[in-house]
Amino acid sequence: MRGNGNLKVIIVISQSGLLLFTLGFYYFFNRTFITADFWKGKLNLLEIVYYGFLAGIGIRLFSLILSEVWSEFKNNMEETVINILKGIDNYDLLLISLPPAFIEELFFRGLLQSHLGIWLTSVIFAILHWGFIKKLWAHGLYAFLISLFLGWLYLATSSLLITVIVHFTNNFMAGLYIQKRIAF
């Protein structure tokens, strides 16, 4: 990673910790390890990939429209994301988009939602993405709405993999969009 060398280290450490925590608590609460059925749910793999990418693109379009009509949201997104993505290439963007999508969905949908419900899980998701920074409240509200959608999608399909694909697609496309804006 050229511009943000410490970012990989931060992501690896934070996501590894969250993964170990999630796997430990999942086993503690369910007395079983995660199986392949946990990921697949009611859909076949082709449907999961298709609908996952389609929904991820839909969320990204929603975000772009929101940015055009709500300046506070646009400022929040630019302020939080531009500094992270300065100087990274597409390969590094892939590396910082996929693990968080996988691990966060395992934690929020796979663990928390099954015990706390969709609403409380979405509040926690929003708080952790917002970070209690007053000027980033619009980002927190956006994260809450996205979490509600991901939670509903998980309930409707019983597939954790589809939520991972949606989360990844949204993060990766957001990164590509911001990279293009930085370049110009």
- Residues 163 and 153 sit within 8 Å (Cβ to Cβ): yes
Query: 5-43, pLDDT tens digit by residue?
Result: 566 677 677 777 777 777 777 777 766 666 666 667 888
Asked whether residue 34 is domain-assigned, the answer is no
Residue 46 CB partners (closer than 8 Å, separation 6+): none
Confirm whether 13 is domain-assigned.
no
38-94, pLDDT tens digit by residue?
667 888 889 999 999 999 999 999 998 988 998 888 877 777 677 677 777 888 888
Q: How high is the pLDDT of residue 95? A: 81
- pLDDT exceeds cutoff 50 at 1: no
| Tally of structural domains, the chain | 1
In a domain, 169, yes or no: yes
- Residue numbers of the domain that contains 73: 53-183
Tokens standing for residue 94: 């892939």
Tell me, yes or no, whether 1 lies in a domain: no
Q: What is the pTM of this model?
A: 0.85
**pLDDT higher than 60, residue 106:** yes
In whole angstroms, what is the distance from residue 23 CA to residue 53 CA? 26
Residue 41 to residue 90: CA distance in whole angstroms: 31
C-alpha span between 154 and 163 (Å, rounded): 7
Average pLDDT, the chain: 83
Distances (CA, A) of 98 to 44, 86, 118, 171: 21, 18, 23, 8
Does residue 24 lie in a domain region? no
25 lies in a domain?
no
Q: How far apart are CA 70 and CA 167, in angstroms?
A: 22
The answer to whether 170 and 60 are in contact (CB under 8 A) is yes
In this model, does residue 180 exceed pLDDT 50?
yes
Position 90 in a domain: yes
CB atoms within 10 A of CB 21: 13
In this structure, is residue 104 part of a structural domain? Answer: yes
Q: Which residue has the tokens 């009509």?
A: 69
Higher-pLDDT residue of 37, 127: 127
